[in-house]
Every structure is written in C-alpha cells, then in structure tokens.
Amino acid sequence: MKMGKAQLVRKIALGLSSFFLISAFTTAGTAGAAAATSSTLVGEIKDVNSTPLSGVRIDVTGPNGFAAQLTSDAMGKWQVEVASTGIYEVTLDQASLPSGQALTDISKGTRKVNVLMLGNALTILFPIGPGAERTPILDQSVQLLADGLILGIIIALAALGLNLVFGTTGLTNFAHGELLTLGGLLTYFFSTIAGLPVLAAIPIAVALSAFIGGYLQDRLLWKPLRKRGTGLIAMLVVSIGLAIFVRYVFLFIFGGDTRQLPQFAGQEGLEIGLVSITPKSIISTSVGILLLAGATFWLLRSKMGKASRAVADNPALAAASGIEVEAVIRSVWILGALLAAFAGIMVTLNQGVSFLMGQDMLLLIFAAVTLGGLGTAYGALVGSLVIGVLIQLSTLIIPTELKYVGALFVLIIILLVRPQGILGRKERVG
C-alpha cells in the first residue's frame, strides 16, 4: 500500500512538471511571437582607437516611405526601430564627423541592410579613421601592426591560462571567456559604482577574479568532478553550461549595455613615430607583458611551475613522486584566472565591457591555442601574436567587420599543413 502511494505521488509530480514545462514553452513562444513586431538597427561610431564619436548624423530610409534621422550619443551609439521587413539604407553624414575623422572607405558611407524577419537586432558598422586617401599605406600598416601586437598580448594572457589548465587537467574549458568578463565587470563596479580610482580598482578586480574564478571554481566544481572520475567530455559539457549560466548572471546584474570607464574615456593618443597609441594602452600593455614574463618564469623556474609540468606529463607518476597534484592544479587555476581577468581589464580599458565580451573573445583564444599547439605555453604566446597581427592587418584588404575571417582562414591553412600547431608535439594530436 505504501509503495502504491509513492507511485501515485511520483505520477502526480511527473504530470504537474510536464504541464508546467509545456506551459512555459507555450507562453514563451506566444510572448516571442507577440513581441516580434519590430526590429532594431543599431551601431557604434568609433575611431581607430575605439574612442566613441558623438553627434554623428545617421540617415535611415526603407520600405513604405520609412525615413529617420538620428545622431550618435556620448558613447557613440545609435539605434532605430523598424516595423517592416525589406531593405533599409543606412547613410553616415560625413560632414558631421569630428575634425580629423573620415570614412576609411568612401564606398561604405551607405550600408544596405536586409531585414528578413522582425524581432531581432541588426548591427551596422562604419569604418572610421583618418581616411584612407590621406594615410599612406606604410603608415597605416605600421599602425595596424602595433594594434595587432596589443591585441595579440590580450589574447596571449587569456590563452596562456587556458592552455595551462588544459595541459594540467586535460579540460577544455568553454567558461574561460567569462573570466575575462568577470575581470572587466569587477573593474567597472569598483571604479564607477564604488567610486574607487581605476588604479586601485584593477588590483582588487584581479585578486577577486583569481579567487572566485580560480580557487572557488576549482574547489566547488572541478575538484569534486575529478574525484568522482567524471570523463573529460562530460566536464567539457559542464563548462559549456557553466559559461551560459554565468553569462546570464552577468546580464541580470549589469544589464546588456556596454559599460565604459569614464576616467579613461576619450583619451588622446600619443604620436610615437608612425604609431598613435593612448597612455592607457601603453601602461596596460606593459603590465600585460610583465605578467606574461612572470607566468613564464613561474612555469620554468619555480618549484610549483616545474611540478605543474610534471603533472601535465604524467599525473600518476607525479603523485607517486610526492607531488601534491591537487595543489598544483589549484595553483594553475588561480594563475589562469588571474591572467584572463587582466586580459578582460585591458579590453575594458579600450573598448568597454559587456556580458558578451568573454563569448566574443573565446573564439580568438581557442584559435590562438590551437594554432600555437594545445598544451604548450610558448605555443599559446606565438599563436596569440599571429592571430592578433593577422586580424588587424587583414583590414587593409577586407572590411573591418570581417577582420576575424582572414585570421581564421590562415588558421585552417596552417593546421592543414601542421595539425599539431606551430609548437605542438605530434603525440598530442588525437
């Protein structure tokens, strides 16, 4: 009789769960259909140094006589809602650009956008700079090379941490990009909301990111999974779920807008030879290089670093030799989170931070790690610099909004010739 009641209770619970689940999906579908009455055309007007340009006029025309005139706000952003499908023409008024700024490609002053369905947002970007007709190709190439090296250092900081974790534990962590976002959002919180100077907020953000994203993440999630003998494929799936969960926690807390650091917004560049670079880029890049050098020294010279290499080669043998494998793994997680957090801070200083920043950077990080060679520290550095330089230099021949395509194409070509990556070992493949 007791068993019968238990079965009845389970059936009732199952039925109620199914009912609410179906209702939720139905409600969500209905709400989505009801909300899909318009689409949004959005854009950001920025110069080559990612400085927002305000007061720039945008003209939008479209089906059924649609016409709108708007200007970019203080953050260089603009948006307009459209209620019909069809082709819209978005035109930037070059006369409204600030002095010294122009379209780098005159033919892209008017962009055509095909709105195929309502309910989504479409981004339109314009290539803004000193103007291709006034900038010699050599000067432009040198500037892009410098920008590529800075981007390469940002990617290298994140890629090195990811590679260390992979080499030590075998885990491909898809939540690694959220560590960049964590560093950027914490910096924004302590500097803008809490009112601390940026130079004080950054070390606090780095330390908290290392603790939360490194120590706590491994202690509360990955260590228990390792002890349970969870397979690497299952842990990879867990990392994907963790990335999605954390990403939307960021969205819930901070919203979907791109957050800027007002203390460094609109900083003028310094002319160093043929290169224009802002002081914040000089300082942050210098610190990034020091962190990379310190991480390399730790890996090659410190006792814990040598132990991490031993664990990466053979965890069982390392444990039999008296090495505390869990302590080594924990230190690698902390270091990886620290490096990723500062990479996110570098991006925040130059471009601002949003809840999608980590997701946007993750592809480049994986590309750099794969290109350099999985599990190799030097490979991550080399692959990151190659990816960063190729991304920026590719804008000489392809539109700016397609700049990631060229780097990924080169990645495919290199891996066809050398599947293990530039510095990878053949035995790591497969």
Tell me the two tokens of residue 139.
């000067």
Buried/exposed 271-300: b ≥16 CB within 10 Å, e otherwise: eeeeebbbebbeebbebbeebbeebeebbe
Q: Give 42's DSSP letter.
A: E
Distances from the Cα of 106 to the Cαs of 54, 91, 95, in angstroms? 20, 11, 13
> Three-state SS for 53?
coil
Tokens coding 187: 């910096």
Rounded Cα gap, residues 190 and 270, in angstroms = 28
Look up the CATH number of domain 39-131.
2.60.40.10
What's the token pair of residue 265?
A: 């917004």
β 39-44/121-123 pair status: parallel
The CA-atom distances, in angstroms, between 129 and each of 94, 348, 400, 429 are: 12, 21, 11, 43
pLDDT digits (tens, 9 = 90+) for 14-32: 554 554 444 444 444 444 4
Handedness of CA 220, 223, 224, 230 (dihedral sign): positive
Beta bridge partners of 165: none
Task: Give this prediction's pTM.
Answer: 0.69
In this structure, what DSSP letter does residue 39 have? E
Give the pLDDT of the chain (430 residues) as one tens digit per residue.
444 555 544 554 455 455 444 444 444 444 444 445 778 888 888 877 778 888 888 988 888 778 888 888 878 888 888 888 888 889 888 778 887 788 876 667 788 888 877 777 788 888 787 654 445 677 778 888 998 999 999 999 999 989 889 888 888 899 999 999 999 999 999 998 998 998 899 999 999 999 999 999 999 999 999 999 889 999 999 999 999 999 999 999 988 888 888 776 656 678 888 788 888 889 999 999 999 999 989 988 888 888 888 888 788 888 888 888 899 999 999 999 999 999 999 999 888 888 999 988 998 898 888 888 776 777 788 889 988 988 888 878 877 667 777 767 777 887 788 777 776 665 443 3
CB 184 within 8 Å of CB 357: yes
Give the chain's length: 430
Cα separations in angstroms, 306 against 129, 156, 168, 171: 47, 21, 12, 20
Residue-wise DSSP of 381-396? HHHHHHHHHHHHHGGG
60: tokens are 């939008």
CATH annotation of 137-428: 1.10.3470
List beta partners, residue 92. 58
Of the candidates 374, 350, 367, the one whose C-alpha atom is nearest the C-alpha of residue 407 is: 367
Domain boundaries, the chain: 39-131, 137-428
Q: Hey, how many other C-beta atoms are within 10 angstroms of the C-beta on 115?
A: 20
Place of tokens 């190439």: 141
